[in-house]
DNA sequence: ACCTGAACACCGTTCAAGT
DNA sequence: ACCTGAACACCGTTCAAGT
């Protein structure tokens, strides 16, 4: 698992092949199958170790909405160093022990805050889903820009060149779009993530208030 | 593109290799590179054709929230027949013409409804993101269950067997969890999707009301 | 219990050579 | 402009044989 993290952090998910991992451990790919059932199980082990890193606070019912936001940010911070590893979380429903502890503690915050059980049960999926897809897309975009530095400028140029007759609304808001990192280094990715988090939390609050 | 859809619809994204596509067209894989730059461009063509299928209504400002929900459902319905093709939408920012028309028309609904431009600009990402990740995860789960029919029951058994001392909140809501399809055929996937859609729309309405 | 080499059945993409 | 066969540099997984 340690060696696998080293590869993922350096090269991303695609770089983590059974063969490359075996090579780094000074053995052959077939030997890994004595320790994991296959690549999917290896990825689950990595994800569960990431889940172990996420600190979820004890419930403070009065500020449950902010606590949910904190949990979202904590999960994002834990996933960010590992490139597109987040993508592996989309493929399987995680059942590792650390993942279950994460879910249990998130549930504690929601239920203490008065969120009905049926809503809480659906929300414990949606929050990690938002975080995972955000980190995954951000990582792939980052890798693309690293490989192809002109990509960012090309995308903006394409959007700005769209004919305003056919795309009047898009032309009107194109100035408000800034995919991921701003040129000045302001963390636009963080702002976009917080926006998504706000939608989920405010939406849940509205549904919970209706009962 | 037609042949590619036939493969994706029958076998999913993994089945769509350049070699299999070429074989179905009675030629060699290398020949495809005279028509597309590579597999990523092929996937973009497929996704843009899906976008062409999505009907986005003209704005009715008074019911913009319901219209956003309708767009979400329409996009989901267009993606659903194509298995895990949705996963390809996570890898690249789509720039096809049909995709841009979709975005333009969604923006029209949002702006007519009074959503501030900065919020609308971020929301046009979040809505497709939710739809895509929902369809993608649902498809992978469905494929897993098809391959491994006992998976569903195993997952439920694992959750129900978790010790209530360590996981009291999870134990309390485990009855409210039903991943994807219910045994009785009720469309639980649809309900979960609508829940996510509600979070986004109600959250956006709350933010828009604040200005 | 753990490891090994070799094999099986695949990938995406490139490239010189053709029509 | 479009197509071809062959090659390059990979994959995940299995399996008989070893220690």
> Considering chain A, what is the average pLDDT of its residues?
95
**pLDDT tens-digit profile of A95-124?**
999 999 999 999 999 999 999 999 999 999
Q: Say yes or no for a CB contact (<8 Å) between A179 and B93.
A: yes
Name the residue closest to the C1' of D3 by its CA: B31
**pLDDT tens-digit profile of B2-19?**
999 999 999 999 999 999
Provide the shortest C-alpha distance from residue A26 to chain B (in Å).
30
Give the C-alpha separation, A127 to A115, whole Å.
14
Answer whether B22's CB lies under 8 Å from B61's CB. Answer: no
Q: Is the pLDDT of residue A181 over 60?
A: no
Among candidates A122, A176, A177 on the partner chain, residue whose Cβ is nearest the Cβ of B192? A122
Residue ranges of A 69-108 with Cβ closer than 8 A to chain B = 87, 90-93, 95, 100-101, 103-104, 107-108
CA of B1 to C1' of D7 (A): 27
Distances (CA, A) of A185 to A124, A150, A193, A195: 32, 17, 16, 19
- Inform me whether the C-beta atom of residue A153 falls under 8 Å from chain B C-beta atoms: no
Rg (CA), chain A: 20
What's the DSSP call for residue B166? T
Nearest residue to B133 via CA among A86, A114, A182, A99: A86
**pLDDT tens-digit profile of B99-128?**
999 999 999 999 999 999 999 999 999 999
**Residue that wins the pLDDT comparison between A210 and B64:** B64
Q: Is the pLDDT of residue A183 over 90?
A: no
- Model confidence at A179, pLDDT cuts 50, 70, 90, reads low
| HSE, side-chain direction, 13 A CA sphere, residue B119 | 20
Chain centroid to CA B167:
31
pTM higher than the cut 0.85:
yes
pLDDT of residue B181: 53
- Write out which nucleotides of chain D lie closer than 7 A to a protein Cβ: 1-7, 10-16
Q: Which of residues 125-184 of A touch strand D (CB under 7 A)?
A: none
In this structure, is the CB of residue B40 within 7 Å of any atom belonging to strand C?
yes
**pLDDT tens-digit profile of A38-75?**
999 999 999 999 999 999 999 999 999 999 999 999 99
Contacts with B3 (C-beta within 8 Å, 6 or more apart), sequence order: B21, B24, B25
Q: Which residues of A touch B177 (CB under 8 A)?
A: 121
Give the C-alpha separation, B198 to A199, whole Å.
10
Q: ∠B63-B67-B73 over CA atoms, to 5°?
A: 150
Q: ∠A166-A169-A175 over CA atoms, to 5°?
A: 115
């Amino acid at each position: 698992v340690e060696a696998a993290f080293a590869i993922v952090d350096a090269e991303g998910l695609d770089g983590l092949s059974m063969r490359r991992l075996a090579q780094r451990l000074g053995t052959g790919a077939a030997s890994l199958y004595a320790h994991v059932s296959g690549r999917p199980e290896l990825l689950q082990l990595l994800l569960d170790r990431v889940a172990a890193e996420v600190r979820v606070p004890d419930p403070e019912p009065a500020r449950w909405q902010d606590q949910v936001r904190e949990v979202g940010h904590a999960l994002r911070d834990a996933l960010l160093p590992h490139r597109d590893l987040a993508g592996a979380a989309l493929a399987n429903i995680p059942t590792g022990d650390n993942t279950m502890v994460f879910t249990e503690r998130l549930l504690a915050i929601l239920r203490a805050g008065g969120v009905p059980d049926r809503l809480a049960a659906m929300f414990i999926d949606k929050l990690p889903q938002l975080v995972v897809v955000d980190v995954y897309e951000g990582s792939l975009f980052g890798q693309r820009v690293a490989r192809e530095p002109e990509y960012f400028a090309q995308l903006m140029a394409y959007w700005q060149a769209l004919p305003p007759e056919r795309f009047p609304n898009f032309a009107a808001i194109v100035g408000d779009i800034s995919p991921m990192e701003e040129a000045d280094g302001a963390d636009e990715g963080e702002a976009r993530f917080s926006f998504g988090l706000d939608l989920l939390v405010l939406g849940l609050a509205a549904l919970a208030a209706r009962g």
